[in-house]
Chain A
């Protein structure tokens, strides 16, 4: 048992050690301040934060619907809305193209009426990231909403509170830990998003080339830089994990 567990730890630690071992420490600062790298980093942060914001904005009402409203086909809707979690991201990207691309089911009308095409723009990066990241928020928040006491909702109604007031004053504070955990999970997923982004938004430096794409590309043209960028992403992800370590699994659902 112990030996297997130790082996598993090695399995997770080894790739990191490999990166650290090969990292060009003397030129790290130079690679990091490189214009392309900074651009990719900035784009990654901006897009992933937008994706997180959209996930919260649209994911919380969806989670509420799934947790609180009884309707036929609810589990089907839940599966549909969380499908992108298990879908290969590339498949998601292709599907987005068929929906919102210039010839897509909705995209063609956007193009015809507004002369607008979404794919291969920065907005497309945000859409692709939101598509794959939002289910993490929905699932976390839905679980928290299921654990809240229905009686408190009833109590709020008998006290004259409307649904919005009840949500703001009673429900939201109760699910806040889960909301934060879900938002961070979504953000981490958006930050690391690769497949759907490259398929749906392409790989244009400055417009759609996010960090993961830059790492992948630099691996061929400039392996040393790719190692430094990869390490930077690890540092960012790792800090999030550490910052959340107390509330991650234990309190994702409920605070007390």
Chain B
């Protein structure tokens, strides 16, 4: 089956232009900040939004190709969506919700109900068959939404923030169940999320920002070598962009970072917060090649460590133990010196 798309579409301030391809049985996560165009991609794939240019192919059939004036409407695309807030039909029972797609496409009532019952059994929801959606918990509603999308046998499955509406406790359980259900679905799946933990369900992650693909790879690859502030923030790391000349990376603001050897040219420098050392005054005797003055702009505790936000020529986040923060007497407004060894900075071409 698989799905391939080149989507180009302008909607208000969003100019979406991406290439996306998902194989059978593969789960691809679209990760990105709000307004990056993630949900719009899903709407284009489902035919709820027509594209301006490009082509969408689902299961070998071209379903949207503006250049050829070809557009297959949503109702004939056989694309299943689990919506962010589930969008279950409030006046139908859980069983009727799941049977809806089959009934709508002409499956006889008894057959549709039998198939829907099987889905409810798989989702461990048999006892809720005659309940109304409003009586369900968030996790149950999510499973009904998934069963409803899968029951008619879609050629492509779309999940819009499948776990965002759940509380932290149910979230972990539902995430595990979702992983299992997706593993037994043979078609391609595209999942939208802004949470890297949820993105871990996917085999491949596509990072979107402002309508464009910024980075693509496995979650580990992406988090190990971020190419955007957004991903760096998700990874909790400092990311600096600049130009390398003779072992020194210079940022657009003119800050200089001494690095271990790296080829000249545009590059990213990744600095982990725990590799930064803080002291109250300039230490002359250190092997660290980088030493920058700064002011503590904010502090917050993460477990037994303290994350310190430092303002200066090069704004950075450092992580120190709670004990050393107390020893140094760090408070907001403290003048500090940040040092880091050149070898602790990871540099890769931009």
Chain A residue numbers with a CB within 8 Å of B105 are 159-160
Query: Tally of A-B residue pairs with Cβ under 8 A?
Result: 75
Q: State the CA gap A80–B83 with chains docked (Å).
A: 37
Interface of A is mostly: helix
Q: Are A155 and B89 closer than 8 Å at their CB atoms?
A: yes
Q: State the CA gap A154–B86 with chains docked (Å).
A: 11
Interface flag for A157 (CB, 8 Å): yes
Number of residues in B with C-beta < 8 Å to the partner?
A: 29
Interface flag for B104 (CB, 8 Å): yes
Interface flag for B283 (CB, 8 Å): no
Chain A residue numbers with a CB within 8 Å of B224 are none
Q: State the CA gap A154–B74 with chains docked (Å).
A: 9
Most-contacted residue by chain A among B47, B85, B89, B149 (CB, 10 A) = B89
Most-contacted residue by chain B among A155, A161, A174 (CB, 10 A) = A155
Chain A residue numbers with a CB within 8 Å of B83 are 151, 154-155
Check A156/B104 contact, CB under 8 A, given A170-B89, A173-B91, A174-B90. yes
* Distance between B254 CB and nearest chain A CB, rounded to angstroms: 49
Q: Are A169 and B92 closer than 8 Å at their CB atoms?
A: yes
Q: Are A156 and B100 closer than 8 Å at their CB atoms?
A: yes
Chain A residue numbers with a CB within 8 Å of B183 are none
- Range, interface on chain A: 10 to 19
Interface flag for A70 (CB, 8 Å): no
Q: State the CA gap A256–B101 with chains docked (Å).
A: 25
Q: State the CA gap A149–B145 with chains docked (Å).
A: 15
Which of A152, A154, A160, A256 touches B104 (beta carbons < 8 Å)?
A160
Chain B residue numbers with a CB within 8 Å of A161 are 75, 100-101, 104
* Distance between A106 CB and nearest chain B CB, rounded to angstroms: 37
Chain A residue numbers with a CB within 8 Å of B148 are 155, 159
Q: State the CA gap A141–B116 with chains docked (Å).
A: 32
Within 8 A of B (CB), among A50-81: none
Chain B residue numbers with a CB within 8 Å of A158 are 46, 48, 74-75, 77, 79-81, 149
Interface flag for B152 (CB, 8 Å): yes
Chain A residue numbers with a CB within 8 Å of B164 are none
Chain A residue numbers with a CB within 8 Å of B87 are 149, 151-152, 154-155
Q: Are A154 and B100 closer than 8 Å at their CB atoms?
A: no
Chain A residue numbers with a CB within 8 Å of B46 are 154, 158
* Distance between A152 CB and nearest chain B CB, rounded to angstroms: 5
Q: Are B152 and A159 closer than 8 Å at their CB atoms?
A: yes
Q: State the CA gap A174–B46 with chains docked (Å).
A: 24
Per-position binary interface string of chain B over residues 70-107, scored 1 when its CB falls under 8 Å from any chain A CB and 0 otherwise: 00011111111101010111111000000011011100
Check A174/B76 contact, CB under 8 A, given A159-B152, A256-B134. no
Q: Are A160 and B90 closer than 8 Å at their CB atoms?
A: no
Within 8 A of B (CB), among A138-160: 149, 151-152, 154-160
Which residue from chain A places its CB closest to the CB of B81 in the assembled complex? Answer: A158
* Distance between B131 CB and nearest chain A CB, rounded to angstroms: 14
Per-position binary interface string of chain B over residues 125-144, scored 1 when its CB falls under 8 Å from any chain A CB and 0 otherwise: 00000000010000000000
Check A169/B89 contact, CB under 8 A, given A158-B79, A159-B148. yes
7 interchain pairs, CB-CB under 8 A: A154-B46, A156-B89, A157-B48, A160-B75, A160-B76, A162-B75, A169-B92
Residues of chain B having any CB pair with chain A under 8 Å: 46-48, 73-81, 83, 85, 87-92, 100-101, 103-105, 134, 148-149, 152
Q: Can you add 13 more A-B contacts, CB < 8 Å, to A160-B104, A161-B101, A256-B90?
A: A152-B90, A154-B48, A156-B100, A157-B48, A157-B75, A158-B75, A159-B80, A159-B149, A160-B76, A160-B152, A161-B104, A170-B92, A174-B91
Q: Which 3 A-B pairs have the closest CB atoms?
A: A173-B91, A159-B101, A151-B87
